[in-house]
Chains A and B, each alone.
Chain A
Amino acid sequence: MSDPAAAFEARLRAILEERYHHRHPFNRRMHAGALTRDEIRAWVKSRYYYQTRIPIKDSAIVEKSSDAGFRRSWSERIHDHRGRRPGEGGLARWLDLAEAVGLDRAEVASLRDISPGVRRACDAYVAFVESHDLLESVASSLTELAAAEIMKVRIAAFETHYPWVDARGLRYFRDRTVQARRDAEQGMRFVLRHARGAADRERCAAALERKCEILWSLLDAVEALQRRPRLSKHAQPRFDDAGGESLVVLSERAVRVNPSGREILELCDGGRTAFELAAELRRRHPDAADVETTAYAFLDAMERLGVVEGRP
């Protein structure tokens, strides 16, 4: 390929072929029909947080440009997600999906129970755009090049393997097959025009790789919700210690937990998933702030200390 622009475009597409999350085990299982209802729900709920970050990063991209035409056309994406009228837009469509898989619409919209790992992955995308220039930010959005295809695969997978999901919930995916193609073409044109030398092209490739990593880590975090935490076989719980404390005794150390921690550890029976455990806590404490988020963070800390195990 003697044409550097064509070679560059091919390189970006090769990055996607190799690193886009269509290869992630979670997506592969989703598309093969292997996910449980609980897994589908955990994904829909977690991914809504990502959806809400998209217009935030697109606003940041718009503000990086002083070109009126670019600003206008890129703003279309923001409207696509937020909607031009109440009840419209990608975010509303995603909440339809949430309802269709059996989640509570308002609960998902509240964003109050997102796991720290999911939050980290999504926030990393906004942080990337905020800390990089316009060219790199646009390049990071080029995962859209692969999005239309994955939407088609996903629609077919849901229709075939998850008939319990109401078909009206799939409209987000249908809308995106069209929008993603348009967005990808716009982004690619911009990148090809503005990446002038080898150094620019390197920066664009790195930005796209980083974005692939972020999408990948988001699914890692969703998968982690499916672990089934149980007390370590090396742990000896002493929830009614003589000193009036709740303790977990381990080899050469002991961990003191408060009543909330004790409640969580008592749910770590190896049977329920972290996602189910957090939902159970939410049922018990409907009005408490951040119950599930706190539970996920607590489980992570307990795993690091060796109190809890549960990664497969």
Chain B
Amino acid sequence: MKAPRPYNLIAELTYRCPLRCVYCSNPLAYREVRDELDASDWLRVFRAAAELGALHVGLTGGEPTLRADLEEIVRGATRYDLYAHLVTAGTTLSAEGLEALRAAGLRSVQLSIQDSKPDASDRIAGSASFERKLAFARFVKAQALHLSLNVVLHRHNLERVGELIELARALDADRLELANAQYYGWAHVNRAGLLPTRAQVDDAASVVRAARERFARPEILFVLPDFHRARPKPCMGGWGRQNLLVRPDGVALPCHAAAEIPGLEFWSVADRSLRACWEDAPGMNAFRGEAWMREPCRSCADRARDFGGCRCQALLLAGDAAATDPACPLSPHHALVRDARAAAEDAAVTSPPPSGLAYRGDRIG
């Protein structure tokens, strides 16, 4: 089939990061993926992405500001007319460093905040970082850049959605993304300790609704957790359909976790053109369109809306990446999700979160 237009390029510049968040979306074996692309390689990637029709580039990681050549990379994104967006934890870049990035063409910044309570935020991040993050948010506003705050939600911070909205207002954020944790990578390891109760999710949703009515700003996005949705999410807007991710080592993927799926062959921009990696890599085509679908997806009216849900979640839960996402109530494996939800109802809700969660970088198992 003809490959669609990748509107968004996700450039994972490095997996290095000073934070150790318990739900990090980087692969468990992130240390094995080295920073193999230099700035000139990234510029080639940007040029090729623009030719494929990309509008945005998200400069992310790990912590992308750990790269000494970030300014050059941002200037390259701007040269090819990509909307340059920096995703950062905000603990590593100075005000002057940010000003240099803005001068190079940076347009917007997404800053992660782990909680509205400093001790709980630091506990989840595995690092004393909260106050520096607030200072960084002010740098972003001082540079007149678009500021999104991103908060990953879980059972130990959902109660503070109201406080998080107040914090976003106090920082004059343009957007607040309240995203319930997606259970891949490190979050999958820690799922039992993070999955919220139904009541927590419902309460937070009603706080968000009330805030949207009261305040024009910031715009608030509330991403429901997969395990509490009536239908699976249209993961990444469909496999290999809108989003093209390039890892620090140059491997091109449809999403953050796809390389974990065994048996799929993805290609690297170190060996081939980005166009070939996007259009022709066997892994990239493995779940494009609908030909790969089985029942109940194949005949489902929602298949063009949710694309069968998430392949990585199907692998993690059902052991088969081509299965219907078990988050879907129609999946024959949905009992796994129901059981996890039931366990979450019985477990204690604490703040700050309990010890015993695995931090990114810990040895697992």
User: Chain A: residues with CB nearer than 8 A to chain B?
Assistant: 233-234, 236, 238, 242-243, 247, 249-252, 254, 306
A249 to chain B: which residues have CB within 8 Å?
55-56, 83
A233-B144 CB under 8 A given contacts A249-B55, A251-B175, A252-B108? yes
Residues of chain B lying within 8 A (CB to CB) of residue A250: 83, 146
Determine whether B5 belongs to the interface, using a CB cutoff of 8 Å to chain A: yes
CB within 8 Å of A: which of B59-75?
A: none
Whether the pair B148, A252 counts as a contact (CB closer than 8 A) is yes
- Choose one: A243, A251, A254; the contact of B174 (CB below 8 Å): A251
Query: Which DSSP category, helix, strand, loop or mixed, fits chain B's interface?
Result: strand
User: In the complex, A236 Cα to B50 Cα: how many Å?
Assistant: 15
B219: CB under 8 A from chain A?
yes
Pull 17 A–B residue pairs with CB atoms less than 8 Å apart, ordered by A.
A236-B81, A236-B83, A236-B107, A238-B55, A238-B81, A242-B53, A243-B53, A249-B55, A250-B146, A251-B107, A251-B146, A251-B175, A252-B85, A252-B175, A254-B55, A254-B56, A306-B174
Query: Is B7 in the interface zone, CB < 8 Å from A?
Result: yes
Q: Mark B26-58, 1 if CB is under 8 A from A, else 0.
A: 000000000000000000000000000101101
Instruction: Provide the bound-state CA to CA distance between A252 and B176, in Å.
Output: 12
Contact-residue bracket for chain B: 10 to 19
Residue of B56, B85, B219 with most chain A CB atoms under a 10 A cut-off: B56
Question: B255 → chain A, closest Cβ, in Å?
Answer: 16
Assembly CA distance A135 to B5 (angstroms): 62
With the chains together, A84 CA to B211 CA distance in Å? Answer: 52
In addition to A249-B83, A254-B55, A254-B56, 15 A-B residue pairs with Cβ atoms within 8 Å of each other are A233-B144, A234-B174, A236-B83, A242-B53, A247-B55, A249-B55, A249-B56, A250-B83, A251-B85, A251-B108, A251-B146, A252-B58, A252-B108, A252-B175, A254-B7
- Bound-state CA distance A91–B127 (Å) is 71
Residues of B within 8 A of A306 (CB): 174, 219
Which residues on the A side are within 8 Å of B7 (C-beta)?
Answer: 254
- Decide: B53 and A251 in contact? CB cutoff 8 A: no
User: Smallest distance from the beta carbon of B55 to chain A beta carbons, Å?
Assistant: 5
Q: Kindly list chain A residues whose C-beta atoms are within 8 Å of the C-beta of B219.
A: 306
CB within 8 Å of A: which of B210-255?
A: 219
- Report the separation of the CA atoms of residues A251 and B174 in the bound assembly, to the nearest whole angstrom: 10
Interchain nearest-CB distance for B47 vs A (Å):
13
Distance from B272 Cβ to chain A, minimum over Cβ atoms (Å):
22
Give complex CA distance A91, B304 in Å. Answer: 54
Please give, as numbers and ranges, the residues of chain A lying within 8 Å of B146 by CB-CB distance: 234, 250-251
Query: How distant is the Cα of A251 from the Cα of B56 in the complex, in angstroms?
Result: 8
Contacts of B107 in A (CB 8 A): 234, 236, 251
Residues on B with C-beta less than 8 A from A236 are 81, 83, 107
Q: How far is the CB of A108 from chain B (nearest CB, A)?
A: 32
Interface string of B118-153 (1 = CB under 8 A from A): 000000000000000000000000001010100000
Measured CA separation A254–B7 after assembly (Å)? 9
Q: 8 closest pairs, A vs B, by CB?
A: A251-B108, A234-B146, A251-B146, A249-B83, A249-B55, A254-B55, A236-B83, A251-B85
Shortest CB–CB separation between residue A44 and chain B, in angstroms? Answer: 29
Query: In this complex, what residue of A is CB-closest to B87?
Result: A252
Q: In angstroms, how far is the closest chain A Cβ from the Cβ of B237?
A: 12
**Distance of A306 Cα from B174 Cα, bound (Å):** 9
Name the residue on A nearest B219 (C-beta).
A306
Query: Which chain B positions have C-beta within 8 A of A252?
Result: 56, 58, 85, 108, 110, 148, 175
| B83–A251 CB distance below 8 A | yes
Please name the residue on chain A nearest to B50 by beta carbon.
Answer: A242
Whether A243 and B5, one on each chain, are in contact in the complex, defined by CB atoms closer than 8 angstroms, is: yes
Q: Cα distance A197–B5 when bound, in Å?
A: 69
Q: Would you give the shortest CB distance from B353 to chain A, in whole angstroms?
A: 28
Least CB distance from B145 to A in Å reads 8
Q: Which of B72-122 contact A (CB under 8 A)?
A: 81, 83, 85, 107-108, 110
> In the complex, what's the smallest C-beta–C-beta distance from A125 to chain B, in angstroms?
24
- Residues of chain A within 8 A (CB-CB) of B56 are 249, 252, 254
B148 / chain A contacts, CB cutoff of 8 Å: 251-252
User: Is A234 touching B5 in the complex (CB atoms < 8 A)?
Assistant: no
How distant is B296 from chain A, measured CB to nearest CB, in Å? 32
User: What chain A residues lie within 8 Å of B174 (beta carbons)?
Assistant: 234, 251, 306
Please give me the residue from chain A that is nearest to B82 by CB atom: A249
* CB neighbours of A233 from chain B (8 A): 144
On whether the beta carbons of A234 and B53 are closer than 8 Å, the reply is no
A292 to B40 alpha-carbon distance, docked (Å)? 49
Q: Which partner residue on chain A sits nearest B7 by CB separation?
A: A254
Residues on A with C-beta less than 8 A from B81 are 236, 238
How distant is B176 from chain A, measured CB to nearest CB, in Å? 13
A55 to chain B, nearest CB (A): 35
Q: Which residues of A contact B175 (CB under 8 A)?
A: 251-252
CA A252 – CA B85 in complex, angstroms? 8
Shortest Cβ gap from B13 to chain A (Å): 18
Measured CA separation A243–B7 after assembly (Å): 11
Q: Give the residues in chain B near A243, CB-CB below 8 Å.
A: 5, 53
Cα of A249 to Cα of B9 in the assembled complex, Å: 14
List, in ascending order, chain A residues with CB within 8 A of B83's CB.
236, 249-251
Nearest chain B CB to A143 CB, angstrom units: 28
State the Cβ distance, A244 to closest chain B Cβ, in Å: 11
- Closest chain A residue to B5, Cβ basis: A243
Which residues of chain A are near B5, meaning CB under 8 Å?
Answer: 243
Minimum CB–CB distance from A5 to chain B (whole Å) comes to 40
Quick one: closest B residue to A252, CB to CB? B85
Q: Which residues of B contact A238 (CB under 8 A)?
A: 55, 81
> A242 CA to B81 CA in the complex, in Å?
12
Most buried by B among A233, A234, A238, A247: A234
How long is the Cα–Cα vector from A249 to B7 in the complex, in angstroms? 10
Q: Contacts of B110 on A, CB cut-off 8 Å?
A: 252
